[in-house]
Chains A and B, each alone.
Chain A
Amino acid sequence: MIEVVLAGFLGSLGEFLQPSNLASVFVDGLSKAALYVMIASGLTLIFGLMGVLNFAHGSMTMIGAYLGGLLMVLMVGQASGPGARLLAFFVALAVTFAVLAGIGGVVEVGLIRRLYDRPPVYQILLTFGLTLVLDELVRIAVLFYGMQPTSDWQAALATKPGFLDSSVDLGLVSVPGLDLFEIAFGAATVVGLWAFLTRTRYGLIIRAGSEDAEMTEALGIDVRRVFTVVFALGAGVAGAAGTLLMWDASWAASVPLAADTLLPAFVVVIIGGLGTFRGTVVAAVIVGMTDAVMTWWFQNVVEFTGLPEMTIFLILVIMLILKPQGLFGVEEVGGH
């Protein structure tokens, strides 16, 4: 009996290790990592500077998906060519980023700012309550227009240019065009945020404020205004992530997207070491790769498709046991 299982396992392992399979799992992992980094980096920036765990982050991604989808549906017709669709996507992306950044700024100034001096549970309750309100508002709006809030928005999915649905031949493997698009998108976001944080004076101030807000303030810097800017930036990135997910059939615009993105985002942020951008990028790659490997095994060997999602929580548990402060975390972050 054991021999049979073992032989089966070794056979599967041999198949998994075939270069073409490894390569396609690798690309799949990268595209998943790109999505994880998109949904988590806004969360980590906000936590790093303000110590606020923004439970409304997933809702902002979800609103970004609907808003991006709405703009796409309005701009793209049956006859639109792939170039026009791609152009429309970047317009939708810019608008979504700006709108969500505006919402983030208003939320910070109007609500969260009053609670910085209180224990963290106040901010958690506030942002959690905000999530309930935002999700319900979107649900009402979606129902009003005669759509199902819990199922994927097909009309938005259909605005994708055809070439993202077809596969691209990379020699060893052929890869879904959308995967490559997501990888490029995630990489551009990481490079952009990294350059902003390390190459600009504003980024320097954010990093200083993340470590010691009081000392930064005493150097003559208006840290409160920096808080607003970073909250807006984090919300804007969440919205941009939503616009990207709106095209991906395994996510897509729907109200449950809020919770579906919030949990993995938290996992990635915690594994990376709360509030460090570098840690979040590395954690997203680890989680993305593990997810891709597990997806292959559970689709090709053990047919149980619910399990890959569980494995990312398994990584979290292992991380919390081995290194509770996360990969790049320091003992105390977010204090001020």
Chain B
Amino acid sequence: MTLLEVEDAHTYYGESHILEGVSFEVEAGEVVALIGRNGVGKTTTLRTILQLTPPREGRVRYRGEDVTGRETHEIAEKGVGWIPEGRRIFSQLSVEENVRVAVPEGRNVESAVERAFETFPDLRDHRDRDAGNLSGGQQQMLALSRGLVGDNDLLLVDEPSEGLAPLIVERVAEALAAAADDTTLLLVEQNLPLALDLADRFYVLDNGQVVDEGNADETSADDERLRRYLSA
């Protein structure tokens, strides 16, 4: 089943034209990577899906329903989670409060918090600390658990390895692989080996358009075709 469909999306920041007709699909259960150089529109694609920056032209469909122009919280309520670039955890809330606020209305908050702490035992030890005092790796775990307790069917993950030490990146990758067992992932990642390792398929973005796509298992990180789009 096609879970997410982006069709010919044109998105602008003010007058600058960032996405120039992006089209792609994500099937339920897949892990799909969006790769490409800095500034080609990967983050904007995620913002377009969430309608944080709605497209001026084109459509976004989720579970076959046209959600273009809807409000972001409605899209989130439908089961789309966002683990944004730079984590954007609430630094002045405690670790536990960060998790609690992400649990949807009407769900059992205590059991959701418990689940998050079982997945990331590190966070349990710091549950009452201000989240701003956590290390970068812990903050990424917290951002991930915020996405996981949201009961999301699709997680939009933006640069999860950015700024983290290699050992921590490994743990983040494990957590993402575990999350992918129950959830569909759309992953933006600069770290090409990591992206190809996690993903089933990938799309390459360049200058605001999808220029290539492929099967991640059949493609290696030093593939000539990919290099061309990724080298500066």
Are the CB atoms of B93 and A219 closer together than 8 Å? no
Q: A204-B101, A208-B101, A216-B101 are in contact. Are A221 and B91 (CB under 8 A)?
A: no
**What count of chain B residues pass the 8 Å CB interface test?**
23
The docked-state distance in angstroms from the alpha carbon of A218 to that of B46 is: 11
Question: Across the interface, which residues of B come within 8 angstroms of A139, CB to CB?
Answer: none
**Which residues between 148 and 205 of chain B lie within 8 Å of chain A, taking CB atoms?**
150
Question: Across the interface, which residues of A come within 8 angstroms of B102, CB to CB?
Answer: 219
Question: Across the interface, which residues of A come within 8 angstroms of B71, CB to CB?
Answer: 217, 222, 224
For the A-B complex, the count of residue pairs with Cβ-Cβ distances under 8 Å equals 60
Are the CB atoms of B91 and A219 closer together than 8 Å? no
Question: Across the interface, which residues of B come within 8 angstroms of A224, CB to CB?
Answer: 71
Question: Is the CB of A215 closer than 8 A to any CB of chain B?
Answer: yes
The docked-state distance in angstroms from the alpha carbon of A217 to that of B50 is: 10
Are the CB atoms of A218 and B90 closer together than 8 Å? no
The docked-state distance in angstroms from the alpha carbon of A208 to that of B71 is: 18
Query: Chain B residue with minimal CB distance to A333?
Result: B92
Are the CB atoms of A207 and B72 closer together than 8 Å? no
Question: Across the interface, which residues of B come within 8 angstroms of A207, CB to CB?
Answer: 90, 92-93, 97
Are the CB atoms of A204 and B93 closer together than 8 Å? yes
Query: Chain B residue with minimal CB distance to A223?
Result: B73
Are the CB atoms of A211 and B76 closer together than 8 Å? no
Are the CB atoms of B73 and A215 closer together than 8 Å? no
The docked-state distance in angstroms from the alpha carbon of A221 to that of B72 is: 9
The docked-state distance in angstroms from the alpha carbon of A205 to that of B73 is: 13
**Which residues between 167 and 219 of chain A lie within 8 Å of chain B, taking CB atoms?**
201, 204-205, 207-208, 211-212, 214-219
Question: Is the CB of A146 closer than 8 A to any CB of chain B?
Answer: no
**Which residues between 104 and 139 of chain B lie within 8 Å of chain A, taking CB atoms?**
104-105
Question: Across the interface, which residues of B come within 8 angstroms of A220, CB to CB?
Answer: 73, 76-77, 104-105, 150
Question: Is the CB of B88 closer than 8 A to any CB of chain A?
Answer: yes
From residue B107, how far is it (CB to closest CB) to chain A in Å?
11
Question: Across the interface, which residues of A come within 8 angstroms of B104, CB to CB?
Answer: 220
Query: Chain B residue with minimal CB distance to A224?
Result: B71
Contact with A along B35-76 (1 / 0, CB 8 A): 000000000000000101000000000000000000111001
Are the CB atoms of A215 and B84 closer together than 8 Å? yes
The docked-state distance in angstroms from the alpha carbon of A220 to that of B93 is: 18
From residue A309, how far is it (CB to closest CB) to chain B in Å?
34
Are the CB atoms of B100 and A204 closer together than 8 Å? yes
Are the CB atoms of B90 and A208 closer together than 8 Å? yes
Are the CB atoms of B52 and A218 closer together than 8 Å? yes
Query: Chain A residue with minimal CB distance to B83?
Result: A218
A-B contact pairs, 16 of them (CB 8 A): A201-B100, A204-B97, A207-B90, A208-B97, A211-B91, A212-B90, A214-B72, A218-B50, A219-B76, A219-B101, A219-B102, A220-B76, A221-B73, A221-B76, A223-B73, A330-B92
Known: A217-B71, A218-B81, A221-B101; 8 extra A-B contacts, CB below 8 A, are: A212-B88, A215-B90, A218-B73, A218-B76, A219-B73, A219-B146, A220-B76, A221-B76
- A-B CB proximity, top 6 nearest: A220-B76, A218-B82, A220-B77, A217-B72, A215-B88, A208-B101
Residues of chain B whose beta carbon lies under 8 Å from any beta carbon of chain A: 50, 52, 71-73, 76-77, 81-82, 84, 88, 90-93, 97, 100-102, 104-105, 146, 150
